[in-house]
Structure 1
Amino acid sequence: MLDDFETELVAALPVLRRYALSLCRRPDMADDLVQTTVERAVEARGRVEPGARLQPWLFRILRNAWIDTGRRQATRGTEIDVHATPEAAVTDGARATEASLMLKQTVAALETLPADQRDVIVLVCFEELTYAEAAGVLGVPAGTVMSRLARGRVALARRMGIDRAADA
């Protein structure tokens, strides 16, 4: 069974949310402020004077929570939700740079290949088509796709300095 404090607290929730929305203008943040207010009020319920109205005290707690949030954000700087923007996730700078350079080198070497080999490599390796699908796109037999792909990979490796025969 609810006591007077809990009854008044529950009754004040819509008013608290409205006040929180007026402060922050964001529903998600307003909900967080109301939750913080309720938590702080429950922890400090012994400090409420008997017979005093609860709402002004709750408003003061909510406003202080809003000020605390503002101070916290000022010291933290801009926050970005990593799940909403995966490109903001922490990356290894050296690896990312190396991968970017390798990609540029690969694209440049790919441009020097004959068109028939380049088309097969793009369709099979980049677009991930099967040999049969690539053959259908190019209008050639699947065996021709496989031989062009093999020749193109060897030529691409040589142009990029990844000649395995030289390594052996």
Structure 2
Amino acid sequence: MPHPGDHAVRAGLAAHLRALWRFGLVLSGSGQTAEELVQATCLRALEKSSQFIPDTRLDRWLFAIMRSIWLNDIRARKVRNPVELEEAESVLVFDGEHNFQTNILAAQVLKEVQALPAAQRETVFLVYGEGLSYAEAAVVLDVPIGTVMSRLASARARLSHLNEDAP
């Protein structure tokens, strides 16, 4: 007899693919690696779907799976990949002359966020990019909520100059 989590994971997985890809990009800095992380996360989620508790946040569970896969991969290689800023920028291209100034600012912000230390970058993405609460981000990152708050404060301090440069 199938577990209730099986149906919930299968039914909800597709709705989170774009967010998973964005998180994979934040973790790795590479579009290709992000795609591989999404595939590995989907496979692991389907394999472990009986562990998912229905009526809880599927996105939070999937982010935690992806982060675990990423960290295990880093540990296995024992070397961190450098962040490929150019690739991250090229995969988030915007079209249209109307949005030109906004896009320049968005590219600058993206470049600055990608330059943050990995822990701050992950936290910024989960809270500000995906809208997770501090408590939810703490669960995904497996850290105390105070660490999430500290990382966000540090990231805001490092990015505060962007506000000064805005017109």
TM-score interval, normalised by the smaller of the two chains: 0.3 to 0.5
TM-score w.r.t. the length of structure 2 is: 0.42
Give me the TM-score of the superposition, normalised by structure 1.
Answer: 0.42
Higher relative contact order, structure no. (Cα contacts within 8 Å, ≥ 6 residues apart): 2
* Structure with max Cα Rg: 1
